[in-house]
Amino acid sequence: MLATSERVRDAENTTIVWHGASHPEACDGQCDWHAIMCSTTEGITMPGSLRDVPLELDVPGERWCPDCRSAIQARTVTEPAR
């Protein structure tokens, strides 16, 4: 899944939260802003291209945004097999 990262810091740790890209075709690798699946108005300001991130993450300190993960799962259930 093409995604963009958000760094969330607390007093002890920094967590990478992955957000699904809502319009991945708009990314040319030189973007400064990425629209995300969990919001129609918010986005991630991060220069660079999107990354292909597995839905099942096993990387310490990284997780999916719960709303983006739900949207991705709902979309994959409704898409016909190719």
What are the pLDDT digits (tens) for 12-31? 899 999 999 998 998 888 88
Residue from 46, 77, 51 nearest 64 by CA: 51
- Reported residue count of the chain is 82
What pLDDT, on the 0 to 100 scale, is given for residue 27?
86
What pLDDT, on the 0 to 100 scale, is given for residue 67?
96
Burial (0-12, 13-18, 19+ Cβ within 10 Å), 12 = exposed
- Give yes or no for residue 7 having a pLDDT over 60: yes
What pLDDT, on the 0 to 100 scale, is given for residue 5?
92
CB within 8 Å of 28: residues ≥ 6 apart: 49
pLDDT tens-digit series, residues 16-72 = 999 999 989 988 888 889 999 999 999 998 777 899 999 999 999 999 999 999 999
